[in-house]
Amino acid sequence: MPDERTTPRGRFITLEGGEGVGKSTNLALVVDHLRACGHEVVATREPGGTPRAEAMRRLLLDPDGEEPLDQDAELLLVFAARAQHLARVIRPALARGAWVVCDRFTDATYAYQGGGRGIEAARIAELEAFVQQGLTPDLTLLLDMPMAAAQRRLEGRLKGQGGERDRFERERGTFFEAVRQAYLARAEAAPERMVVIDAGAGLAAVQAELLARLDERLEAWS
């Protein structure tokens, strides 16, 4: 085990936003940038990040068949996957001084299960406190753009890959608008942690803004 007195904890960075805003695309950029700065970086995602947590992800994303997933069960599954991910990947990495870059984390729960499904924030906060024991991201890059434009990007990708829509991608426009507003409200409430990036611009412009904001934070941490 690393000695907590001599090994500085690594930094925990998350990427958030609605579907199709470019989280996966930009996660690769963030990871490459941090590695070029000399950090050990663990790139991961939620729900998932370990074999068992990925199995829970499949339960969450499989389209509803004859038995729709109850929304409380959905919330608990999200946090069950998170508990596994924290125990097996995130906490050990941070403890040995590695940096963790994660595609979605608990802000997604407040946005999707809170904003989208209408579950009370206080109930989500109880599970957050139980599972995370005070561990929160050091920086969250929130990629934001109008829902309709993100949907068009996703359509393009689905056509290209011939993929099927998952349980969330089958939701209505009002669900995604509520998700977006919940994300923006969280960013407004935590401006020191959450940085909003305009994800609707072309990729080069989005990435230039993202790296500029990341570098500001790296400078502040150094």
Residue 47 interacting with ligand Z5A (CB under 6 A): yes
Q: Which stretch binds ligand Z5A (CB under 6 A): 13-21, 64-72, 129-137, 182-190?
A: 13-21
- Counting other chains too, the contacts that 157-161 makes at CB distance below 8 Å and 24 or more residues apart are 157/20
DSSP labels for 60-116?
HHSPP-SSPPPHHHHHHHHHHHHHHHIIIIIHHHHHTT-EEEEES-HHHIIIIIIII
Residue in 11, 12, 14, 23 binding ligand Z5A, rule: CB under 6 A:
23
For the segment 169-188, give every residue that binds ligand Z5A (CB under 6 A): 169
**Residue 79 or 99: which CB sits closer to ligand Z5A?**
79
Q: Which of residues 148-167 bind ligand Z5A (CB under 6 A)?
A: 153-154, 156-157
Q: Does 144 contact ligand Z5A by CB under 6 A?
A: no
Contact, 35 vs 79, CB < 8 A?
A: no
Question: On the CB side of 156, how many CA atoms lie within 13 Å of its CA?
Answer: 9
The verdict on whether residue 24 carries a ligand-binding annotation is: yes
Find residue 12's DSSP bridge partners.
100
Instruction: Tell me the closest approach of the beta carbon of residue 25 to ligand Z5A, in angstroms.
Output: 3
Which SS3 state, helix, strand or coil, does residue 40 take?
coil
The reply on whether position 78 binds ligand Z5A by CB under 6 A is: yes
Would you put residue 67 in left (φ > 0), alpha (ψ -120 to 50) or beta?
A: beta
203 near ligand Z5A, rule: CB under 6 A: yes
Query: Taking CB under 6 A as the rule, does residue 147 contact ligand Z5A?
Result: no
Q: Is 108 in the site for ligand Z5A (CB under 6 A)?
A: yes
Comparing CB distances to ligand Z5A, the nearer of 41 and 119 is 119
CA nearest 14: which of 121, 142, 134?
142
Which one, 40 or 208, has the nearer CB to ligand Z5A?
A: 208
Residue 16 and residue 105 in contact, taking contact as beta carbons nearer than 8 Å: yes
d(CA 218, CA 221): 5
Residue 78 assigned ligand-binding role: no
- Applying CB under 6 A, the residues found at the interface with ligand Z5A are 17, 19-25, 46-47, 78, 103-104, 108-109, 112-113, 153-154, 156-157, 168-169, 202-203, 206
